[in-house]
Structure 1
C-alpha cells in the first residue's frame, strides 16, 4: 500500500503528474472494434470528457504512450495526428503534446460564428474508415461500378447494399423492394409524388423537417399538422381523419424526431399503425436517424412491412457528403415510386451509390456509425451539463441535435441574442407546419462544430442567454 501511495504521488520534473501514471489513468477508455490508433484517439477523448486529462495538460512522450497502450511509436504518431485534427490536442514544437486549451492559438477567434444551426455530423470522426473504403473502391478495377449507367431504381449490387443497410435496422427486405435516390430528401419527394396528387393532404408532425414544407409546396400538397410531444406524434388527433379521402399518407419520424428528438412511444406506434390500417393509407417513415439511435429504437416498418414505406440514408450516421438514400417500399408501391423517380432523372447516382455500397458491404459504414454513436453521446452529455434543465432532450439520447426550452423568452429573441454573440441556432418557428403558435424552444445542433473546444463555449453562450428565463418544457 505504501509503495502504491508513493507511486501515485510521484511528480514529473515540471510539477505535473508522472507521465507513466497519466497514461495508465486514462487508457481504460480504449474502444472495442477499432484500429489501435483509433482506440487511442477515443481514449484521449474519454480522458478529456471525464476530466482525467485537464486542459493544458501535457501528454506523456510517445515512447511512454506506446508502452502503456502496447503499440508501436508509429501508431502513437498516427493517433496524435488524428486527435489533433479532432481538436482534442495541440502539438508544440520542442515542448510536446498538450490537451487543448481554449486559449490555444488555433482555437476559434472571438467574433467568429459557431454554427449550431446546421444539423449534420462531424466528418472527421469516421474519416479514416471512409478513406479505407475509398481506397479499396478506387483499386477494384471495376470502373463500371463507379462511372457506368444504371437503371433509375439502382443497379442490383447497390440495391443489395440498400437491403443490407435496412437489415442493420432489423428489416428483412428484398433488393427488389429497394430504390436508390440522391439522399433521403429526394426519397421523400419521390414517395410523396407517387402517393399523392396536387391538392391532396398528408398528415405530419406539427414541428417537422424544413425540407418537407418545401417538398409539399413543390408538389402542391396540403400538410396537415398533428401535435407532437415527448412521446412523438399525438395519435389521438388522427381519428377525425379516418374517413377523410383527401388524406393520402401519414409521414413521420418515429426515431429521434427532428427537431424535438422525441421517440414515438410503444402505445402511439400501435395507435398510428391501427389508424393507417383502418384508413387504408400508407405510412411514410423517415428513418434517417434510426441507425444512429441503434437497436433500442426499431423502425415502424418492422411491425407493418405491408403498409410502411421506410426511407433512410447514410448522411446522419456515416457522412453528410454521401448523398445516397434508400427507399424500401411494399411490393405493390415499388413501381409507382420508380415511375415517379423519372421526374428527376434517368439513372441512379452511380458513383455515390458505388461508394455507399462499398462502405456497407465492407462493414465500414457500420463501423462509422459506431464511432458516431460514441461521439454523439459524448456531445449530448456535454450539452446536458452546459444547459441543465433547459435541455428537453434526455442526456442519454444518441443524437447530433438537442431540443432546448427558452422558457418565457420568444425563440427568435434568443436566436438574435445568440447571433450577436457569434452563435447560430435554429428556432422552433423554422420547423412549424401551419399557422399555430411556435414553441418556445431552439434546436441546437452539435455536429457541425468539428471540435469539442468550439462546442463547449458555444453551449455556454446559449446557457448564458437563457439563464435569466425560467425553464419551461414545451415539447
Structure 2
C-alpha cells in the first residue's frame, strides 16, 4: 500500500553531528530526531540521497544507509523506491533528556509528596515506547518473539545485556549473562540456586526490604552483619562466617540501599578474601551502580568465579520494563537456568527485545544520562535546603538520601509527623535485619516525584521539622 506523504521538497539537509557522540550512523539518526523535534524538518520533508549526504558529511555511503535504516526502525522516516526518503514522524530526541515538570495540582501545595520509594522518572519513555512499537510494523519482527524462549533469554538479548553491562565496568560474554524480570527476580533465582530452606544468608545489618521478604518466603535464615559509613565491616563478616557457616552474602556495595554507602576497593578485596576462605557465594546487587560511573570496580570484576552480579533497568529507565541481567560463573549457569525454568520459565521476549533495541540504538544510554543529571540537580537542592539542619545527610549521586535524625527525634515520630504533613518517608526499621534496635534514621527518595517543586516542598517540610521538633516527643508517656 502506498503511503501518502505531504511532500515538501528538501534535499539539502545537513546535520550538525558535534553534539551527538557515538558511532556516526547513530549520530546521524540522533541528529535527524533532534531536527524533527525542533521543527527544522517537517513531516513529509524529503531527505538527501545516501550518496549526497555521505559526500557532505565525509562518511561512507554505507554509514548513511545504516543511519537511515536506524531512523526508519525508530519510526522517524519512510519512503518508496524511486521516490526518495521522507520524514514520517518520531519521538523528539529531547523528550528522553527532559524531566517533566508537570503542572501543579489545584492549590499551591500538593496533597501528598511520596518520598518513600526510589523510582526513576519516566520522562520520554512512553513516547519512545510508542515509537519503538510503531517501527515494528512488519509481522516478521514479532514471529521470533512468540515462541517459548530459552530459559536464560534469546542469544541476541543476552548479547545486548552483555553490551549494556560493558558500559558499566563489567566485561562479560553473553554465555555468562541471563535475562531476568528485574532485580527482584535475579535475587530470587540466585538465592534459590545457591541455598536451600534453613540455610543462612548474610547481609548488611540494614538491607533492602525485598531481600527480607524473599528469604522469609523461601524459608531461609537472614542475619545482619555490622556496617559503618563505608558499608559491610570485614571483621564482622568474618566472625559471622566462622560462627554460622552461611551459604551466601547478599550485599549492595555501591550506593547501598538504604544508607547510600559506597564500599572502598580495599574493603571489597577483603570481603572477597573472606568469602573464598569460608566458601561463601557473593550476591552483588548493583542496581544503582550506573549512577556512579567512578565507583570502585564491581565485586564481580574482582571475583567472577564466586560472584552472582545483579543489575536492572528499573532504576535507569522504568520499573515497569522489568528487565534485568544476572551475571554468573560458568559452573553455575546450568543450575541457574534450571531455577529460572522452575520460577518463571523465562522472561517475556517482547520486553527483552524492547530493552535490547534501546541498548543498541543508544536510547538506554540517554535515559541513564538523564537520570544521572537529574539526581545531581536534586542532591544539590537537598544540600541547599538542609544545609543549616542539625542532621547528617550522606551526600551522593543516588536516588535517595539517608538522614540520621538528631535528638530528640525518634524515627517513628518523624515518619508519623511528616506523614501528617503530607510527606511520605521510610523509617530505618523497615530495613533492619534481626531484632536489634534500628537507628533513628529515615530514607528519603528524591527521585520519585516527577516535579522538582514537589521534592523541594518535601525537603522544606523535613527541614522545618528538624529545626523545630514540635512532635519529637510523641512516643514519650
CA deviation vs aligned residue, 1:158-193 (integer Å, no higher than 9, x gap)? 111111121112222121111111110011011000
1:423 is displaced (CA, Å) by: 0.6
Label 1:394 to 1:242 Cα distance change in 2 as closer, same or farther (>3 A): closer
1:244 is displaced (CA, Å) by: 4.8
1:468 is displaced (CA, Å) by: 3.2
In 2, Cα distance between the equivalents of 1:137 and 1:229? 50
Label 1:454 to 1:32 Cα distance change in 2 as closer, same or farther (>3 A): farther
CA deviation vs aligned residue, 1:92-126 (integer Å, no higher than 9, x gap)? xxxxxxxxxxxxx6466546111000211011165
Q: Does the CA contact (< 8 Å) of 1:414 and 1:466 recur in 2?
A: no
Other-structure match for 2:3: none
Deviates more, 1:411-420 or 1:292-301: 292-301
**Paired residue total:** 390
Label 1:429 to 1:39 Cα distance change in 2 as closer, same or farther (>3 A): farther
Q: Does the CA contact (< 8 Å) of 2:202 and 2:246 recur in 1?
A: yes
Q: How does 1:298-447 map to 2 (within 5 A)?
A: 298-388=297-387, 392-395=392-395, 397-408=396-407, 409-447=409-447
Q: Does the CA contact (< 8 Å) of 2:287 and 2:315 recur in 1?
A: yes
Q: Does the CA contact (< 8 Å) of 2:225 and 2:240 recur in 1?
A: no
| Unaligned stretches of 5+ residues in structure 1 | 1-29, 41-77, 91-104, 471-475
1:392 is displaced (CA, Å) by: 3.9
TM-score by length of 1: 0.75
Q: What is the CA RMSD across the aligned residues, in angstroms?
A: 3.0
| Unaligned stretches of 5+ residues in structure 2 | 1-17, 22-29, 39-91, 471-477
Query: For 2:370, what is the secondary structure of its paired residue?
Result: helix
Deviates more, 1:223-232 or 1:133-142: 133-142
Structure 1 runs of 4+ off > 3 angstroms?
A: 30-40, 78-85, 105-111, 125-141, 145-148, 241-246, 389-395
In 2, Cα distance between the equivalents of 1:402 and 1:143? 42
CA deviation vs aligned residue, 1:3-57 (integer Å, no higher than 9, x gap)? xxxxxxxxxxxxxxxxxxxxxxxxxxx98758658999xxxxxxxxxxxxxxxxx
Q: Does the CA contact (< 8 Å) of 2:230 and 2:261 recur in 1?
A: yes
Query: For 2:386, what is the secondary structure of its paired residue?
Result: helix
Label 1:220 to 1:259 Cα distance change in 2 as closer, same or farther (>3 A): same
1:128 is displaced (CA, Å) by: 5.0
In 2, Cα distance between the equivalents of 1:80 and 1:161? 24
Deviates more, 1:120-129 or 1:342-351: 120-129
TM-score by length of 2: 0.75
CA deviation vs aligned residue, 1:192-235 (integer Å, no higher than 9, x gap)? 00001111111101111111011000111111101222101111
CA deviation vs aligned residue, 1:302-325 (integer Å, no higher than 9, x gap)? 111111110001011122221011
Query: For 1:251, what is the secondary structure of its paired residue?
Result: strand
Q: Does 1:232 align with 2:254?
A: no
